[in-house]
Amino acid sequence: MNVIECKGLTKVYGKTKALNDISFTLTENKITGLIGRNGAGKTTLLKIISGYLKETSGEVKVFSESPFNNLKVSANLIFVNEEMSYPGSLNLGEILKAAATFYENLDMELAERLMNYFSLDLRQYHTSLSKGMRSTFNTIVGISSRCALTVYDEPTSGMDAGVRKDFYRALLKDYIAYPRTILLSSHLLNEVEDILEDILLIKSGEKYLHMAMGDLKEYAIALSGRSVSITKWAEERKVIFQKSLGAGSSYIVVKNDLSALEIEQARNEGIELMPVSADDLCVYLTNKTIGGIDDVFSRS
């Protein structure tokens, strides 16, 4: 079953295209990572999917319906981000009780156990919490609601490393016990890659890649060696990233489509072949230039 379907989705603000002709489909019961640089259009995409914004053109379907101002979609979807606001007159316990009247699958017992673990008092008020603690409470609501579609937009903003690690583990454990579709936006791919099944990479408002996490980890390969040899290899294929290592050596990243013969040939030329982390690859793919920040300091 398709939970999210986007076809030619475009969103325009004035003269700026925040999203440009994006098409993809997300099936049920998967954790998908939405990855992209700041300003790539991630939040706009998530808000359209969650029914907070209406697309300029194209089509978006959630549970086979348009999500904008749709009560059925809202009842089966929760959008968690740092902008979540609650009535100032309600304490955290009262907020959870109110949420339970809307989200029929919300597990109050789980929410209270998580509150206790993360040192949150049910009598506290959302506005009195620090940024990190507000994010922690928001993620607790997101996990315990057990919505058919849970959307997280940079949910760990303000959390320290230990709390982020606990959140990801809690999310994964509850997902395994109660599968649902989770769409998670994060700029910390190295922290979340182990819980992701798919990845959707967007660049400047356009879809760049949509593939299984395992395939992304095998997508590219790095070659390091004498600049003369590396330059020859760079001429024969599309270079994703390159930099000088000094002392006549260079480093390039290319798509991992080398044959066994080419790999043996490279090694015979003294070239070292290395894997490329998913986090580094996404940075390279979304760079404006193949040299990254180093190109700012290069001289022609």
Question: Is residue 68 within 8 Å of residue 54, measured between CB atoms?
Answer: yes
Q: How high is the mean pLDDT of the chain? A: 92
CATH hierarchy code of domain 2-211: 3.40.50.300
| Residue 262 to residue 223: CA distance in whole angstroms | 12
Which of 123, 147, 149, 11 shows the shortest CA–CA distance to 137?
123
Amino acid code (one letter) for 53: L
Q: How many other CB atoms are there within 10 angstroms of residue 241's CB atom?
A: 22
- What is the residue extent of each domain of the chain? 2-211, 217-297
Q: Facing residues of 221 across strands?
A: 254, 275
* Confidence (pTM): 0.91
Evaluated on CA atoms 60, 64, 66, 69, the torsion sign reads: negative
If you ran DSSP here, which 8-state letter would residue 298 be given? -
User: Nearest Cα to 178, choosing from 153, 155, 145, 151?
Assistant: 145
CB distance 146 to 177 below 8 Å:
no
CA atoms within 13 Å, Cβ hemisphere of 85 = 3
What is the pLDDT at residue 298?
67
Per-residue pLDDT at 233: 82
pLDDT tens for the chain, 300 residues long, are 899 999 999 999 998 999 999 999 999 999 999 999 888 999 999 999 999 999 999 999 999 999 999 999 999 999 999 888 888 899 999 999 999 999 999 999 999 999 999 999 999 999 999 999 999 999 999 999 999 999 999 999 889 999 999 999 999 999 999 999 999 998 778 889 999 999 999 999 999 999 999 999 999 999 999 998 888 888 878 899 999 888 889 999 999 988 899 889 889 989 999 999 999 999 999 988 787 777 777 655
The hierarchical CATH code for the domain 217-297 is 3.30.70
Give whole-number Cα distances, 104 to 96, 98, 117, 141, 207, in Å. 12, 11, 24, 13, 34
Cβ atoms of 30 and 182 within 8 Å: the answer is yes
Query: What are the φ/ψ torsions at residue 138 (nearest 5 degrees)?
Result: -60, -40
Q: How far apart are CA 126 and CA 137, in angstroms?
A: 8
Pinpoint the alpha helices (H) of the chain. Answer: 42-49, 71-75, 92-102, 108-117, 131-145, 161-177, 189-192, 213-217, 227-235, 260-268, 278-286, 294-297
